[in-house]
Amino acid sequence: MTPEIKFDDFLKVDMWVGTVIAAEPFPEARKLALKLTIDFGAEIGTRCSSAQITKYYAPEILVGTQVMAVINFPPRQIGPFTSEVLTLGVPDEMGEVVLLRSTVPVPNGGRLF
């Protein structure tokens, strides 16, 4: 477990919901991954993310899916690709990533609170 933080520290992490509008394999990545383009609504627009989510998610089923992501980390260069947001997930019992998603459709750009 990590050390306790103040609520104001939590508020510094911007986690928003967006809809995957494009997904494709990322064969240049060291670990199996997908390249995602996510629409976060008018205020943020679209951002790209590299996500190691290939166990449960094929590119064709991700388009139209809403996901949660941290949008205020600095971009990260992953091989030839720049990942602009961190798509959020939790590990299953085998350590494979399961995406955090809304169970009900919500407007893109909603901030987690």
Residue 50 belongs to some domain of the structure = yes
Residue 79 belongs to some domain of the structure = yes
- pLDDT value for 70: 98
Residue 8 belongs to some domain of the structure = no
Maximum distance among all Cα pairs of the chain, rounded to whole angstroms: 40
Residue 37 belongs to some domain of the structure = yes
Instruction: Please enumerate in sequence order all residues whose Cβ is within 8 A of that of 49, keeping only pairs 6 or more positions apart, or say none.
Output: 35, 36, 38, 69, 83, 84, 85, 86, 87
- pLDDT value for 113: 85
Domains of the chain: total: 1
pTM: 0.94
- pLDDT value for 39: 98
Residue 106 belongs to some domain of the structure = no
The pLDDT tens digits for 7-25 are 999 999 999 999 999 999 9
Residue 25 belongs to some domain of the structure = yes
Assign residue 32 the CATH number of its domain.
Answer: 2.40.50.140
